[in-house]
Amino acid sequence: MTRIISIANQKGGVGKTTTAVNLASALGRSQKRVLLIDLDPHAASTSHVWDGEPAATIVDYMENRQLLEDCIFRTDDGYVDYIASSQDLQDYISKMKNIHTLPEKMLSIVKMCESKYDFIVIDTPPDFGVLQVNAVLVSAEIIVPIYEYLSVPGLVALKDMITACDQVINLGKGRILRMLAVKADCRTKLSRNIVQVVHDNENSLHTVIPYNIKLAEAPAEHKTIFEYEPTSKGAMAYMQLAKELINIGA
Ligand SMILES: Nc1ncnc2c1ncn2[C@@H]1O[C@H](COP(=O)(O)OP(=O)(O)O)[C@@H](O)[C@H]1O
Ligand SMILES: [Mg+2]
């Protein structure tokens, strides 16, 4: 069965895109068939894996200009298929007349891709807007990257959103929220405390992604960490994360 994982958090700059791109590549390098969907109009995942204008984006599929298969491309590193995003996604959302269109489109993508991929990883925008909600709607697992204390109201809002999604589409068992400590600098007491808080939460991921400058440099080269600096601590951590997820099972 395909595992669908959204990378979500209502804040920007917390490592969602870095996690989506490098986790997808690590899963691909672990012999898994992976589709990365960029559902953020900022299109940071798209530009991370692709240097230039994509020939088609998710908006072309949403607006019925292209077939889904014509919107799926292979990343340069050769391990991941992806569906690109673009700024047009924001216009599409603003002009959308029927609120059912987006969930129907997302579900159709998942249905068509189910037999082709072991994992679908979805990068989301930094808010609880319609795009993030729709990503969570089709996902059984939600990875929440955390590098600073997540405010209690923020966490409650995220859990409420996940519960609301459980009520709209029942996936058999409740969606699992998996916190992931990222950008951790374990020389500092603050970072060690945050990692501890993350690990105290049920279903949180044991792997800790360290602060690693190579991870911050790689996007400008349009490369995953495995192409940019395969022996870096960042590369090792994302490979470890992929292994942990594979071992957890669906
Ligand atoms: N583990 C890390 N170590 C160092 N820099 C990181 C790490 N993870 C992310 N970054 C950098 O932090 C910034 C925000 O990360 P990003 O993945 O774009 O966050 P988001 O998608 O949540 O907005 C980017 O400049 C990125 O390169
Ligand atoms: Mg992002």
Question: Is residue 126 in contact with ligand 1, taking CB distance under 6 Å?
Answer: yes
Counting the structural domains of the chain, the total is: 1
CB-based contact 222:3 (threshold 8 Å): no
Residue 45's pLDDT is what? 97
Question: What is the domain extent for residue 24?
Answer: 3-248
Note the pTM of the prediction, 2 decimals: 0.97
The protein residue with its alpha carbon nearest to ligand 1, atom 8, reads 15
Residue 250's pLDDT is what? 55
pLDDT digit of tens for each residue in the chain (250 aa)?
A: 899 999 999 889 999 999 999 999 999 999 999 999 999 999 999 999 999 999 999 999 999 999 999 999 999 889 999 999 999 999 999 988 888 889 999 999 999 999 999 999 999 999 889 999 999 999 999 999 998 877 677 888 889 999 999 999 888 888 999 999 999 998 999 999 999 999 999 999 999 999 999 999 999 999 999 999 999 999 999 999 999 999 998 5
Q: Which residue from 14, 18, 213 has its CB within 8 A of the most atoms of ligand 1, so it is best to mutate?
A: 18
Separation between Cα atoms, residue 187 and residue 184, nearest integer Å: 9
Domain harbouring 14, CATH code: 3.40.50.300
Residue 24 vs residues 73, 113, 185: alpha-carbon distances, Å: 14, 15, 23
CB-based contact 121:40 (threshold 8 Å): no
For strands 141-146 and 176-184, give the pairing. parallel
Question: Is residue 13 in contact with ligand 1, taking CB distance under 6 Å?
Answer: yes
Ligand 1 atom having least distance to the Cα of 209: 1
The first and second tokens of residue 208, run together, are 């800790």
Residue 2's pLDDT is what? 94
Question: Is residue 175 in contact with ligand 1, taking CB distance under 6 Å?
Answer: no
Ligand 1 atom having least distance to the Cα of 211: 3
